[in-house]
Amino acid sequence: MEVCTVIGFPMGMNTKETKVYEAINAVENGATEIDMVINIAALKNKDYDYIKEEIEEIRDAIDGKVLKVIIETCLLTKEEIIKMTEICNETFVNFIKTSTGFSLNGAKVEDIELINNHKNEILEIKASGGIRDIDTLEAMIKAGATRIGTSSGVAIMHEECHCEHCKEEK
């Protein structure tokens, strides 16, 4: 069973040292995947070295566990999304993730396509936030997402299910 937790929630404003501690503590307590929120302010200030160092320190601290980098696409320009995709490529993380689900809005197909057009063959995309139906889910996968984050998973599965229970629910 995989166990995931988020560090640096919600806006990534914690120090690098705090995020590293959070990540190590989470792994020591059973987490097998870490979702880290980048420091949005550092990105807006074009402090790319800070962001890259932060990601690398967390990646190295979690000893090969899955690392997903949450970039909060709804707060970023296209250029910033591309830059974060490049940084994720360079730091060899497992996933770039669109959203915490607690900001202005979640994943958009055009953001997934933009990331997909700039990622390397190693980096995977997790579309997260605002995915509430099967059509949106399928559009995200078609655009390049390899993992979906949604709080509507049960409802989405019921949309496609034709069992007696689901027919009653509809």
Catalytically annotated residue among 16, 19, 35, 68: 35
35 is catalytic: yes
Catalytically annotated residue among 19, 97, 108, 119: 97
- H/E element holding 58? helix 48-61
Residue 46 burial by Cβ neighbours in a 10 Å radius (0-12, 13-18, 19+) = exposed
161/156 Cα distance (integer angstroms): 9
Catalytically annotated residue among 16, 83, 108, 126: 126
Residues 6+ apart with CB under 8 A from 68: 4, 33, 34, 35, 36, 93, 94, 95, 96, 97, 126
- H/E element holding 34? strand 33-37
- H/E element holding 77? none
87/42 Cα distance (integer angstroms): 13
Q: CB neighbours (10 Å) of residue 148?
A: 19
Question: Annotated active-site positions, please?
Answer: 35, 97, 126
